[in-house]
Structure formats: C-alpha cells, structure tokens
C-alpha cells in the first residue's frame, strides 16, 4: 500500500483494511424480567417484524405483551442459557463463527472479522464503528440468514444503514445476499444430517425440515422467504436421496392470531405420531446457529408433543453452528462477495 505523507499536526488516519461483519438476530443480555423486557421491546417494536398499525400495536405491546411475556420467555431462555459465559447460545456461537472465519483469513492481514446483533448486544452500530476505528474503509455485511426475509435480512441491513447515516466518513459497504441454493450450503446441510443420523441406533421414518414461520400476508405482499425455504428443502431432500413421503417441510414459531405459513411444525409432529410414526428427526436449515427456537422449541417442546402423541424415538439435528461445514458456508459466501476487494 502506498504511504500518504500527512501534513504536520494532521490527526492520524487509519485505512486500508477490509471488515467482515457477521449479522444475526439477537439475544437478551440476561434471563431476568427487565433484560427480557428490553430485548422483546426492541424486537417487537421493529416495523419490519410487526406490520400491524402502530395505533393498534402500541397498547397491545406495552400494556399486555411486555407485562406478561418477559417472565415466561425468561424461564425458557434459562433452560438453554450459557451459564459459564452468562449469555445466550446464539451469542456464544456467533462469536465462535467470527473467530473461526477470522482464522480462515489469517493469511490476509487486510481482513478483520467481527459479529453483531440486530437486537441488543453487541450492537450493529458499535461493531461498525469498531471496524472503522481499526482502519476498515470497506465493510462487507454478511446477514447469517440463508433465506431472505424483510423481518430478518432487511431489518439487519436497516440497522447497519442507520449507523452509517450518523457517520461523516462512511466506509464503502457491500451486503452478501441470501444463499438458499448455494451448493456448499446444501452439501453442508446434507453432510450434517448424514453424520448425525449415523450416531443413532435407529433410523427415522420421517425427516422434518422446519423453518421459522412468518404471517401468510407477508408472503402475499411479495416476501420471497417461503419460496426460498421450499427450494432449500427440495435441494436437501434430493441431496440426501430421500423419497418425498419421508421428508416434510414445515414452519414453526407462530405468534398471534393471524394465519402463518403452513403446515405448522407442532401440528405436523403431533399428526405424524398419531398416524403411527414412531421415529422422527427434525432439522432446522434456516438457522445458522442454534438458539431458543431450536434448542427449547424444537428439541424441547416438539419432542414432548411427539412423545405424548405416541412417538418413541425423536432427535433434533443441530444447526451448522461453528462446525467445519458451517464455517465452509460462511467462508464461501464471504470470499465470493469480497472479490475485487481482496
């Protein structure tokens, strides 16, 4: 790099580095009532997440939901909390992903890798500033959502752009697109399924690929999420070589009374058990890191639903997390989007 001679008395200028910022949803700072309330208030106040008119949503959120829900969700988080680090597993895994991705770029000293959350900490704004302070005049945002949705990818980018709006000297930025049909992603998923099932002394009769749900009206307004989930499911089934009658695609985590994307995961799990299926496996391809929705809802609640309805053997296949395959996916997406910068 060419050195620039600065005038005497000029403040120091740090530049020439390339930042990679991994973006994920977020996690509360603690399981207590007020930590949960702060997290839920920020999350459920996001207009990308809740598209209900504010006049209707504000009193419902502040007078009812934020009074009753923090306590219940805090207990759920407590069942999966990383007590050693005093943080949610999503933060632990996201940190590991950033550290391992950084190790993959260790031979290229121009690259600095970090991670941030859309909701709570570490905040997106603080990590963008940290990268800029280290001399990153170019930053690649990598939303860790394989499937694009306004309520995930778009709001993560919104938060990053809001931070940029406050900067006098903005870095150049790029945003990595979703990767629903990326070959390295499909192969990593298929490999993780094969390896997990190989550890069992039984074979599942049905494999359910469950994705986070969203209101049906979001799809009708043009959100591509549903279509991208269906594509990943089809490609995963084909990669595994499973017949259609042994592979189901469902949607979980619905909230409120409006119809959401169907079929619902919990209802499908119950129906399968009641129909005589005794051995069931669940995988969540849409989650790059395990969190409340996978560890507590899938491996906890849905396991109970299946067993209470007559099922006998149940397994949840972990997300790719910071496994070698998971980092292969993130690295492949990152290197592709850094072309021309490195």
- Position 3 pLDDT exceeds 60: no
Answer yes or no: is 1 within a domain. no
Whether 159 and 38 share a structural domain? yes
Domain CATH for 269? 3.40.50.1400
Do 23 and 93 reside in the same domain of the chain? yes
Q: In this structure, is residue 342 part of a structural domain?
A: no
Q: What is the pLDDT of residues 272-290, one digit of tens each?
A: 999 999 999 999 999 999 9
**Confidence bin at 4 (pLDDT 50/70/90):** low
pLDDT at residue 256 in the model: 82
CA–CA gap between residue 122 and residue 318 (Å, rounded):
24
- Rounded Cα distance between 293 and 65, Å, is 19
Q: What is the pLDDT of residue 138?
A: 98
User: At residue 314, does pLDDT exceed 70?
Assistant: yes
Q: pLDDT-based confidence at 181, cuts 50/70/90?
A: very high
**Rounded-to-integer distance, Cα 54 and Cα 64, Å:** 15
Position 1 pLDDT exceeds 50: no
Residues 41 and 174 in one domain: yes
Name the 3-class secondary structure at 113. Answer: strand
Kindly state the tokens that stand for 45.
């106040």
Q: How many domains does the chain have?
A: 2
Report CA-CA distances (Å) from 141 to 23, 134, 173, 178.
7, 16, 7, 12
* pLDDT at residue 136 in the model: 97
21 and 69 inside one domain:
yes
Is the domain of 232 the same as that of 140?
no
- Cβ–Cβ < 8 Å for 203, 240: no
pLDDT for 208: 98
Gap between the Cα atoms of 158 and 168, Å rounded: 18
Q: Tell me: the pLDDT tens digits for 16-61? A: 999 999 999 999 999 999 999 999 999 999 999 999 999 999 999 9
Q: Per-residue pLDDT tens for 71-113?
A: 999 999 999 999 999 999 999 999 999 999 999 999 888 999 9
240/167 same-domain check: no
Q: Which domain holds residue 266?
A: 183-317
pTM of the predicted model as reported, rounded to 2 decimal places = 0.93
**Token pair recorded at residue 335:** 């290197």
Least reliable range by pLDDT among 170-174, 252-256, 284-288? 252-256
Q: Is residue 6 part of a domain?
A: no
190-221: string of b/e by CB count within 10 Å (b at 16+)? bbbbeeebeeeeeebbbbbbbbbbbbeebbee
């Amino acid at each position: 790099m060419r050195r620039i001679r600065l005038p005497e008395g000029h403040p120091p200028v740090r530049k020439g580095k390339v930042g990679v910022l991994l973006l994920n949803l977020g996690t509360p700072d603690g399981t207590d009532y007020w930590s949960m309330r702060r997290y839920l208030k920020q999350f459920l106040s996001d207009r990308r997440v809740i598209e209900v008119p504010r006049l209707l949503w504000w009193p419902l959120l502040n007078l009812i939901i934020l009074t009753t829900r923090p306590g219940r969700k805090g207990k759920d988080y407590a069942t999966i909390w990383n007590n050693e680090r005093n943080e949610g597993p999503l933060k632990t895994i996201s940190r590991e992903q950033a550290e391992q991705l950084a190790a993959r770029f260790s031979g290229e000293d121009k690259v600095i890798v970090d991670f941030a959350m859309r909701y709570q900490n570490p905040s997106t704004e603080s990590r963008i500033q940290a990268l800029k302070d280290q001399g990153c005049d170019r930053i690649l945002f990598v939303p860790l959502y394989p499937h694009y949705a306004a309520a995930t990818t778009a709001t993560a980018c919104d938060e990053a752009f809001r931070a940029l709006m406050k900067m006098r000297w903005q870095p150049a930025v790029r945003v990595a697109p979703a990767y629903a049909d990326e070959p390295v992603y499909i192969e990593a998923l298929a490999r993780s399924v094969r390896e997990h099932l190989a550890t069992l002394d039984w074979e599942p009769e049905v494999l359910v690929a469950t994705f986070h749900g969203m209101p049906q009206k979001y799809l009708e307004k043009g959100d591509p999420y549903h279509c991208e989930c269906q594509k990943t499911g089809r490609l995963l089934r084909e990669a595994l070589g499973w017949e259609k009658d042994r592979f189901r695609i469902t949607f979980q985590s619905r909230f409120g009374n409006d119809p959401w994307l169907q079929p619902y995961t919990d209802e499908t799990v119950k129906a399968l058990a009641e129909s005589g299926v005794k051995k069931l496996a669940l995988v969540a391809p849409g989650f790059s890191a395990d969190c409340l929705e996978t560890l507590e809802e899938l491996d906890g609640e849905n396991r109970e639903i299946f067993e209470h309805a007559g099922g006998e053997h149940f397994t949840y296949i972990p997300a790719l997390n910071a496994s070698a395959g998971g980092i292969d996916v993130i690295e492949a997406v990152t290197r592709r989007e850094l072309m021309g910068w490195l």
